[in-house]
Homo-oligomer: A and B are copies of this chain.
Amino acid sequence: MATINDVARLAGVSKATVSRVINNSAKVNEETRAKVLYAIEKLGFRPQFSAKALAHSKKQFRIAISLSKRMELIKDSNDEIGQFYGIILKEIKGMATIYGINVKEILLESPEKGYDGYILIGGDVTKEILNNYKIFKKPIILLDHYILGEKIDSISPDSFTGAFYAVNYLIKKGMKHIVHIHGPLNSYGFKSRYNGYTEAMISAGLTPVYYEYDDINNNIDIVLKKIIETEIPEAIFASNDMTAIRIMDELKKYNIKIPDDISIIGFDDIPRAKKYKPSLTTVKVFKQEMGNMAFKRLYELMLNENTHPVRISLYTEFVKRKSTR
């Protein structure tokens, strides 16, 4: 277990010098550098991240969190943002405080230079937007999103598995006519839930039925009308809890009983899901943990640790409540 001290001793220099060599943080005589490099090689030394991080802990980093225009729009009409991204945001800011790091919220569509790292939130990030951040040459995290082909660190819930098991729950209850109402599929999360639903249906020999719902126009009444006009399905699996709740609101107008006439499942487990009558069966997304991991990962990257980009999926949890049989 070679430490910087061992290297220093073998190379016959001080550990400060070793540190300088490792980090290229100051001029070092070529001969000295060679000696140090040799010792590092010889001992198989690799700096320990914890020690590095600790020593850095008073360093003043600045990070930016980017939220899209669309979120700002929706924010006014309902509390979707607060119930989901709000929790994530709070965690990130909390972690930042602990680590003594400055956080600024900026508009996703207007990238601002000058931060040590960026967390881009939600499914509105496109390749084009991303490119405008890449040019800053600073670490970037996609939170609750992923873009195929982009080697950018990404943190998201395991939507596929979550959806798969939720729909399977309905199937095991003997239901066959299960429809999926989903948000825009350019959002990776929605797309994965869509895929999870599809996979569950197909492998059970059932026919998937999809309806798209646009949360900006909030056209759930129209969508639902269309669904009901043909036949009331046994269950609806919605892309997220907000949508599920709106569906239930609408269903009440038609005097359709939940869960007796129809079962509803959402996704996210926002606080409201539990309070609503009937309480909403859903797939819990670990929002706080997502925020935490996003922060930690960004912190690692800012300290140049483990820089190979990764995609992190957090396991979800099926939560049975009153909206399903």
The residues of A with any CB-CB pair to B shorter than 8 Å are: 1-2, 44-46, 48-54, 57, 94-95, 97-100, 148-149, 151, 158, 161, 164-165, 286, 289, 292-293, 296, 306, 308-315
Contact = CB atoms under 8 A, between A and B. Distances in A.
In the A-B complex, the 3 residue pairs with the smallest Cβ-Cβ separation, listed nearest first, are: A50-B53, A1-B100, A289-B308
Main secondary structure of the interface of A (DSSP, over half): mixed
24 contacts: A1-B100, A44-B94, A44-B97, A44-B98, A45-B98, A46-B94, A48-B98, A49-B50, A50-B50, A50-B57, A148-B161, A148-B164, A149-B165, A151-B315, A286-B308, A289-B306, A293-B306, A293-B308, A308-B315, A309-B315, A310-B314, A311-B312, A312-B312, A312-B313
Number of copies: 2
A98 B52 CA distance: 14
Which residue of A98, A100, A286 has the most chain B CB atoms within 10 A of its CB atom? A98
A237 B314 CA distance: 31
Contacts of A293: 306, 308, 310
Contacts of A2: 98
A164 B149 CA distance: 10
A83 to B, nearest CB: 20
A161 B151 CA distance: 10
Contacts of A95: 46
A320 B316 CA distance: 38
A99 B46 CA distance: 10
A234 to B, nearest CB: 24
Contact of A296 (B99, B161, B306, B315): B306
Given A158-B311, A311-B315, A51 B48 contact: no
A98 B44 CA distance: 9
A293 to B, nearest CB: 7
A216 B98 CA distance: 53
